[in-house]
Structure 1
Amino acid sequence: MSTTTEPLRIGLVSLHTSPGDEPGSGEVGGMNVVVRHQAEALADRGHQVEIITRRSSPTQPDSVSLVPGVCLRFLSAGPAEPVPKGEHDAFIEPFRAGLEELGPYDVLHSHHWFSGVAALPVARERGIPHVQSFHSIAAESDTPLSEGERPESAGRPAGERMLARESDAVVVVSSAEAATVRTRLGGDASRTWIVPPGVDGSVFRPAGAGARRAETPYVVAAARVQPLKGLDLAIEAVAGIGREARPTLVIAGDASSEAGDYVDELRRLAAAHGIADRVTFVGPQSRADLAFLFRGAAAVLVPSHSETYGLVALEGSASGVPVVAAAAGGLREAVVDGETGVVLESRDPGDWAAEIERILTDDSYAAGLAAAGREHAERLSWERSAAGLEDVYRRVLGRS
Structure 2
Amino acid sequence: MTRPLRIGVVCLHTDPFAPPGSGDVGGMNVVVRSTAVAMAAAGHEVTVWTRLASATAPTTETIDGVLLRRLPAGPATTLLKSAHDDLVEPFGRLLREEPPVDLLHSHHWFSGMAALEVARERGVPHVQSFHSVAAPPDQPLTAGEPPESPARLDGETLLARRTDLVVAVSAAEARTVVDRLGAAPEAVRVVHPGVDSEMFHPGEGSARPTLLAAARLEPLKAIDLAIRTLAGVVERDGEPRPRLVVAGGATSDESYPRELAALAADLGVACDVTFLGPQGREQLAALMRSATLVLVPSHSETYGLVALEAAASGVPVVATRAGGLEESVVDDVTGLLLPDWETATWVDAVAGLLADPDLVARLGEGGRAHALRHRWADVAEATVACYRELLG
Same fold (TM over 0.5): yes
1:37 — aligned with what?
34
The alignment's C-alpha RMSD in Å is: 1.1
Paired residue for 2:201, among 205, 221, 231? 205
1:184 — aligned with what?
180
TM alignment of 1:5-44, pairs within 5 A: 5-44=2-41
Deviation at 1:38, TM superposition (A): 0.2
Identity of paired residues, percent?
53
Deviation at 1:235, TM superposition (A): 0.5
Paired residue for 2:73, among 53, 74, 77? 77
Q: Structure 1: which amino acid aligns with 2:125? A: P
Specify the SS of the correspondent of 2:180.
Answer: helix
Q: Structure 2: which amino acid aligns with 1:61? A: P
Specify the SS of the correspondent of 1:282.
Answer: strand
1:255 — aligned with what?
250
Deviation at 1:150, TM superposition (A): 4.0
Q: Structure 1: which amino acid aligns with 2:179? A: T
1:341 — aligned with what?
335
Deviation at 1:243, TM superposition (A): 2.3
Residues 1:277 and 2:271 are matched in the alignment: yes
2:62 — aligned with what?
65
TM alignment of 1:195-274, pairs within 5 A: 195-207=191-203, 211=204, 213-244=205-236, 246-257=241-252, 259-274=253-268
Specify the SS of the correspondent of 2:390.
Answer: helix
Deviation at 1:348, TM superposition (A): 1.1
State the number of aligned residues.
Answer: 389
Query: Which of structure 1's runs of 4+ aligned residues deviate more than 3 A?
Result: 144-150
- Which string of whole-angstrom CA distances, capped at 9 and with x for unpartnered residues, describes residues 113-138 of structure 1? 00000000000000000000001111
Q: Structure 2: which amino acid aligns with 1:81? A: T
Deviation at 1:151, TM superposition (A): 2.8
Q: Is the 8 A contact 2:8 2:105 kept in 1?
A: yes
Paired residue for 1:356, among 331, 350, 356? 350
Specify the SS of the correspondent of 2:277.
Answer: coil
- Which string of whole-angstrom CA distances, capped at 9 and with x for unpartnered residues, describes residues 357-391 of structure 1? 12212111111100000011100110111111001
Q: Structure 1: which amino acid aligns with 2:299? A: H
Q: Structure 1: which amino acid aligns with 2:309? A: E
- Which string of whole-angstrom CA distances, capped at 9 and with x for unpartnered residues, describes residues 137-179 of structure 1? 1112223445555431110010000000000000101111011
Q: Aligned partners of 1:313, 1:230: CA distance in 2, in Å?
A: 15
2:151 — aligned with what?
155
1:310 — aligned with what?
304
Q: Aligned partners of 1:100, 1:255: CA distance in 2, in Å?
A: 33
Q: Aligned partners of 1:188, 1:58: CA distance in 2, in Å?
A: 42
Mark the runs of 5 or more structure 2 residues left unpaired by the alignment: none
Gap change, CA 1:149 and 1:262, over 3 Å in 2:
closer
Deviation at 1:86, TM superposition (A): 1.1
Q: Structure 1: which amino acid aligns with 2:75? A: P
> Normalized against structure 2, the TM-score is what?
0.97
Q: Is the 8 A contact 1:252 1:283 kept in 2?
A: yes
